[in-house]
Amino acid sequence: MEYTMLGRTGLKVSRLCLGTMNFGPQTTEEDSFAIMDRALELGINFFDTADVYGWKKGEGITEQIIGRWFALGGGRREKVVLATKAYGDMGDWPNTSRLSALHIRRACEASLKRMQTDYIDLYQMHHVFREAPWEEIWQAYEVLVQQGKIIYAGSSNFGGWHISKANEIAKSRNFLGLVCEQSLYNLNARTVEMEVVPACEDYGLGLIPWSPLGGGLLGGVLKGDLTGRRGSDHVKAAIEKNRDKLEKWEALCDEIGERPADVALAWLLHQKVVTAPIVGPRTIAQLDESIRAVEIKLDAEVLAKLDEIFPGYKTSPEHYAW
């Protein structure tokens, strides 16, 4: 496994991040334990989760699974750079969601308890919250850092403007601010290249792409088995909408002799702003297959062909103005 620094920090993380969203709803606890053990064997030290994962309001099912895995000992917690998120609705009463100072405090305490740990390495805001002033949000984060309950702050689904405002206000408070942004980013979804990517580069944030395979579209769907989630009406409609691009995409992958899913991950790893794409395996076999992406080196010709198939975006305002 290769490692890199998380944004402008001195923290080393693996070039692939283990996403845990399937743990509970799609993957049993026993299999989740096995996947996490296998991730450590492969050298993956970066794990991502969120308090809402498991999708039963207020229960934090996925975090609980991770906590019981940590409790097995064997250095599991010490080996993991643990990232979780707060923002989603965790109850039916006021102040059980979003990013008020009160909810940030309560959400952090609840995540620590569920995951049976006394600190979170990377505490991410799952979405921008426009109603709370940044002074309130950063004050809450500063207290958690001072208490030793979190180490780094990150964002998810932010715009370039949000990253800029957040870090300028953090700087005025002598606080480190955001060190990474988790965004939708893949060959077929490159909108972040206009403003989010430039903001990350300028402020020294690592970019952690979610949905690196575009909901399965980039995983070889034209030759794959369209059953289960891949056979949903939503996926079938997306395939038809993108069929021309997908045919060229899968033909290029055949030409270079690599699996489409591996090339999609490898392409992200070739983007200098990307720290680690999030892979969300449901099985150990899927995790093992994803490791190939770290080894693939795409030459300039292949990268140019990928840009032809999936055109990207210029930095704004050049993308839409002279």
Q: Which residues are catalytic?
A: 53
Using the 8-state DSSP alphabet, how is residue 205 labeled? P
> Could you tell me the sign of the dihedral formed by the alpha carbons of 96, 98, 99, 100, in that order?
negative
Length of the chain: 322
CA distance 22 to 36: 12
- 17-19: strand order across its sheet: 206-210, 178-184, 150-156, 120-125, 81-86, 46-48, 17-19, 278-279
CA distance 254 to 74: 42
Only one residue has tokens 């062909």, namely 305
Q: Are 275 and 242 in contact (CB under 8 A)?
A: no
Of 265, 267, 247, nearest to 255 by C-alpha is 247
CA distance 96 to 246: 42
Q: Are 175 and 166 in contact (CB under 8 A)?
A: no
Only one residue has tokens 């919250």, namely 129
Of 181, 233, 189, 196, nearest to 211 by C-alpha is 189
Whether a cis peptide bond, with omega within 30° of 0, leads into 281 is no
Tokens of residue 105, six digits: 């405090």
Strands 17-19 vs 278-279: parallel, antiparallel or unpaired: parallel
Of 119, 129, 109, nearest to 82 by C-alpha is 119
Stated as kind and residue range, the H or E segment containing 279 is strand 278-279
Q: Are 275 and 207 in contact (CB under 8 A)?
A: yes
